[in-house]
Structures are given as structure tokens and as C-alpha cells.
Chain A
Amino acid sequence: MNTLNEQQLNELQKDLDTIRDEVLADLGERDANHIRSMVRLHRKLEIGGRVLMPFGFIPPVFLAATASLGLAKILENMEIGHNVMHGQYDWMNDPSLNSQTYEWDTACSSESWRRTHNFEHHTYTNVIGKDRDYGYAVLRLSNDEPWRPRHTFQILNYAALSILFQWGVALHELEAEKLSHGKSHLKEKRPFLKLAAKKAGRQAFKDYVFFPVLTLPVAPIVLAGNAVANLIRNLWSSTVIFCGHFTQDAETFTEEQAEGESKGHWYLRQLTGSSNFTGGKWLHIMSGHLSFQIEHHVFPDLPAHRYPEISEKVQKVCQKHGIHYNTGSFGKQYGTVLKRILRHSLPERITRRPAVA
């Protein structure tokens, strides 16, 4: 981690707060129009996908229907749900865009997500031992964690996690690794399990029971199409998220480093623990602007469509303080993610490389 002295950290805080204040003072119709147009686009894509799906026995229609439904789920999860639940649009005072009541189209309940993601992950970003999003307790992604034989084929775990991503996220709060180590008991998890079962049941009912049964003669096609749409969304969101925190240069921190930190220090940790990727407007929208993961982690509750314009200012601040701004093309960043997963599959004595992360 870059070391800045207390005075530099204070200055960093001031610089970033200034950017934040400028955006807050400027929030208004432009932001409301953006999120509402995204909501409209989501409705069109979802309705389009659902209506076309029963005609999926015609192959091009199947492609169009699954693409439409898959894109709908991506847009709703990434640019709408995730961002709304961060409170980015609470200022609009619109109950349908409220962080505390919004329920998104994925297996994880919003309530659980707000605990594990908004609070745990965003407060303790990349602090090994406290941020359970770091490797999801499934993957070994840094040398801070001792190597075990089970890590050898973790690339397969990674593939399974990506394919079933929404279910992994849904069960994240269960803390299965603690259960298996006897550090917690299933009994304590009962309220969570009840909540999770309700939400997951609702999602499964919708995609795998209701719509197939509704279109009975072609039920298998609708079932398959819905499953593919979910798969598309799972693979994409998992990839975006891995590119945001597990690239080559994304730093990790120890609990001691993060203890009693100042706001400036917290900012520094967000800046160096996250990574961006570059691309066009729609790549950013479809990633919920998590292509600007750095800006998102510094300002999680500013409307995400502002991150591209904020980014230039954040980069200047990073330059000024000599902080590495971790960005690159989507392909390059993803490449380093795969390398990281593979490299940490093996113990250091085999990879024979110094501990970088």
C-alpha cells in the first residue's frame, strides 16, 4: 500500500471531498432522466424477451429472446439494482428507486446484499479476513492466505462460481466456510436462510415454473431460454466484478492497516484496492459503471453514470499524490485476473515469484 503521511492523507480527503461536493450540488433532472430511461429500457428488454421466448422454436427468435432477457437482467442488476441499492438515487425521493425498498431480479435478497455488499465489502474493501468478497472464501487470490492442496484446481471453482454466480451471491451471507470450520452454527443463520429461501424461491418460480407452465406446449424452450438468460447475466456480472478487485495490481490490506483509519486513509484504500477497465458507453452501462470500480469505491452513493466525468478528476488527484490508478482494456484486465487465479493455485515456492499482492 502506498504510504502517505497524515498531512497528505488529509489533503487527499479534501481533494476527493471537493469532487464529491461538486457532484452532489449538481444532482438533478439529468440524473433522474438517466435512471428512468434505464428503467424504461429494462422494461422493454424484459417484456420483449418474455413475449418472444415462446416462439423460440424458431432458432433466430430463440437467440433474440434469450439475448433480450439476458440483457434485461444484466441492465437491471448492474445499472439499476446495484446502483439504486447503494442509495445513489435516494435524493430523488421516488419510492420505486429507494435503496431500502428496492428488490432486484436476482436470487440474492436485497436485504442480504445491503449487509454483505454495501456494508461489509464497501467498508472493509480488500481487507483480508474482513472483506469476504475477497475471493468469496472460495478462491485464494493473494499470498496472505496460506496455500492448501485444494487450491490447485481453483480455476474450476472459479468457473463454477461464475456459472452459478447469482446462487453464490445469494448464499454469501451463510458464511459456509465458517460453518464447516465450526466457527458458527446453522441455527444462527436461520433468519437469513428463511429470507434467502423466500427470495430464491421467487426467482426460481418465475423463470423455471411460471413462465414455462404458462406457455405449456413450448415449456422446455422457455425453460431453456430463461436458464440461458440467467447464465449470460451470471457470467457477465461475475467477470465485471472480478475485473474490479482481482486484477494484477489491485492491492490487499491487513486488519491492522485498516484499524482506526482516517477518512483519508479509507479513501486511499478504496483507490488502491479497486481497478477499472476502459470501453465505450454501453460497455460501461452494462457493467453498471463498475468499469469505474475505483470511482465507485470512492463514491459508492453518487449516481454511477457520473463516474466517467468524475474519473478524470480522480485521476488528477491520484497523479498529484503519486497513487497508481489501476486501469486498462477489458481484455488486459481480465487476463491479469485469470493469471492471478492460476498463480495462486500453486504455492509460492513453485511459482517462484515474489509476493506481489
Chain B
Amino acid sequence: MLAKITQSKTLHWLGRQLSNSEDPRAFFDPLTAAMNPMWVQQYTPARVERITAETADTKTFELRPANRWGGFKAGQHLNIRIDIQGVRRTRTFSLSSSPALWESRGLITLTIKRLPGGLVTNWLHDDLKAGDVIGLTEAFGDFLIPVEKKPVLFIAGGSGITPILSQLETMALGNYPEPVTLLYYVRTPNDVIGKEKLAALAARHPDFSLDVITTHESSTPRYLNDHDLDSIPNLAAREIYLCGPKGLMDLATEKLRQRDIKAEQLHSTFFAPPAPAQISSSDIGGQVTFSASNLSVDSIGDANLLEMAEAAGLTPQHGCRMGICHQCTCTKTSGTVVNRLTGQVSGPGSESVQLCISIPQGPVALDI
């Protein structure tokens, strides 16, 4: 064992010396990717096996990740990595299939809704074809079904159903012994995702009750109300899982608190896509977090990120202070920034930004 570790450490060291890269695998990837994209080592490649339509704006993508992918637990998500117009984009999506499908057949599914104006979701819907290869990270997230068997309530809205589909299927396969209820809010009956799967589960498992609530079928929207919660038997004893748009999550959390549901019983996962950024002077500024230094500062948009970091006492590497030398380029881990030179707005995910010409647009986190 020890020999193995030393050996791999030595090999890794040797790889670094020879390839000039912290990740020696990067040396061969450009060649192997051209021969067979499934041989790439820097991330897990996954081949698109099949794409099926769930609703008018939602599709399920069946993927076959390379064997070495580590698997997942029901309710987790992963990042996909794709190149659009030469730019690498990373986005997070929930796994909608059960881990059993991965274990038995090496397949996983992502169920993805097309967002209005969304760069990545629209690309996935319009340009990704069966046979293509995309990149994946390992799965992560702690939106997990209870280890200790307890009654469960799922509250889902729209495409927030996707991790819950995986959880329900997993519970059904394991013959979950407690009652499980799903309150599923959709705009119209046409917007139900996983319709057949849900119906089949409800038909086969008497302990699973399904309540699909349409919110936009009458002139006034019908959102989650007290009656919905009051009708759940033994609500106080349940583990509750929330996934959906922010409005639904806030409303449900508020009403559950009023019913003295403890915070430990409540599990939620974020599912609000960032709104497409607009360029206007009014929405500039926001809290900037320097995560590596554990510092946060507020900004009103009158200073660039480099000036703000320095005002906060940090000394990030920098050079010309006019966007030429890229000495100050660092990784923004979340939030959007505006490029002062071009007026261009960055994406919301992780990417490189030049501190000296970037202005925050809303909350921003930087890896310095």
C-alpha cells in the first residue's frame, strides 16, 4: 500500500517535471481528445446516448459517463462542461435518474428546462446531439433522502422536480417503508415533467401520494396555500424536501416555520437560475467576497475589483492597471462582473476576470 502511494506520488512528481503542468494528464489530452473524446483524462467525458422530450421546453439527456466516474446519491447534482463558440461553460444540473441505473447499466440522466435567454440550456436543447461527448465533474450536494426511515414530504415546483425524480425512484426501489407525499406545482398540466414515471410510481406504491397542483389555469394564480399543508397527515413528523423557484421555496419555508417545523427537518436545494444580466448603471455594485482571505466588502460600483481588494488591505498581483498585462487576472467563483473597457457582462459561473477593469454587478465571489 505504502509502496503504491509513494510510487504514484513519485510518478506525479515526475509528470510535473516533464510536462510543466500541475496536471500531467493535460499533456496528452489534446491528442487523445482528437482521437477519441472519451479518452480525455482531465475531466470525466460522457457520451450522449439519447435525448427525449419531457414537455415543450424540457428534455431528458441520457448520458454514458466514462467508467471511472464515481457515481452519485439520489438528490445530488453535477457540473457539466461544454464549449460554446470556443468558450468553456460550466453549469450545475441535478441528476434525474436513480443511482441504480448508473450501477446496473452505466447510464445517468439530466432533465433540463430551456431558460428564456439562457445560453447553455438553449444550446443543450438546440445543438447537443446523440453521439456527442460532454464533460462532467463528480456529483456533489447534500440534498439526500433520510438515512433513518421517516415519513417524507416533497414540495417541488416546475423543473425543481428533477432531483426528486431520482429520490422517488430510489426510494421505490428500496421499498421505502414510510408514507411519502409529493406536492408538485406546475403552471399547466402540460408542464408536468416525468409524468409517466410519477403516475407509475403512484399506481404501484400505495404509500406514495402524488398531488399535482396547477398554478396558472385560472385568471388568478393558485400558489401553495395553508390547505395544501394542512391536508398532509402527520406533517410535524416528516422530513421535508423543497426544490423549485425562489417564490415557492420562500412561501413554503415561511408556512412550515409557522407550523413549528424544525430547521433540521427542512432540506432545500437552490434551483433559481441567475437572471440574464443587463447593462445599466443602476444595477452596478454589490457585495464582493474575497473567499481565500475571508473578507467581504460592499461596493456601489465606483471602484474596480483591484481597487476594492487593495482598499480591503489585500495585495493581489497586478501590473499596468489598464487591462493590458493580465497580471491581475484571477478566478471569479460566482456572481457577474462588467468589463469596464468593453461594457461586456461576464457569465455567472466560475471564470477568469481581470481585476483592474472589472466592476461587480451584484454579489461577486473571488478566489483571492
Contacts and interface: CB of A to CB of B under 8 A. Distances in A.
Contacts of B267: none
A99 B18 contact: no
Contacts of B17: 202, 205-206, 210
Contacts of B325: 114, 118-119, 122-123, 300
Contacts of B22: 101
B326 A90 contact: yes
Nearest to B89: A93
B28 interface: yes
Nearest to B351: A93
A175 interface: no
Interface in A159-218: 202, 205-206, 210
Interface stretch (B79-87, B161-169, B209-217, B223-231): B79-87
Chain B binding surface SS class: mixed
A221 to B, nearest CB: 19
Contacts of A32: 83, 86-87
A29 B89 contact: no
Given A32-B83, A91-B87, A39 B30 contact: yes
B324 interface: yes
Contacts of B83: 32, 92
Contacts of A29: 85-86
B204 interface: no
A27 B344 CA distance: 13
B20 to A, nearest CB: 4
A47 B28 CA distance: 10
A307 B168 CA distance: 57
Contact of A104 (B20, B29, B322, B352): B20
Contact of B87 (A93, A99, A115): A93
A98 B86 contact: no
Contacts of A47: 31
Interface string A37-52: 0011001100100000
A96 B329 contact: no
B322 A24 contact: no
A40 B34 contact: yes
Contacts of B42: 96
A349 interface: no
Given A100-B352, A206-B17, A263-B322, A119 B327 contact: yes
A24 B339 CA distance: 12
Contacts of B89: 93
A150 B351 CA distance: 51
Interface in B95-118: none
Nearest to A86: B326
Name the residue among A24, A91, A93, A99 with the largest chain B CB count within 10 angstroms.
A93
Contact of B28 (A43, A119, A263, A300): A43
Nearest to B26: A96
A15 interface: no
Interface string A97-127: 0111101110000000011001100110000
B18 A119 contact: no
B171 interface: no
A40 B31 contact: yes
Contacts of B86: 27-33, 92
A31 B323 CA distance: 20
B21 interface: yes
Interface in B17-51: 17-18, 20-23, 26-31, 34, 42
- 3 closest residue pairs by CB, A with B: A32-B86, A87-B326, A119-B319
17 contacts: A21-B342, A33-B86, A40-B34, A43-B27, A87-B354, A90-B352, A92-B86, A92-B87, A98-B329, A119-B320, A119-B327, A122-B324, A206-B17, A210-B14, A210-B18, A300-B325, A301-B326
Given A43-B30, A87-B326, 6 more contacts: A93-B90, A101-B22, A103-B20, A122-B325, A202-B16, A206-B18
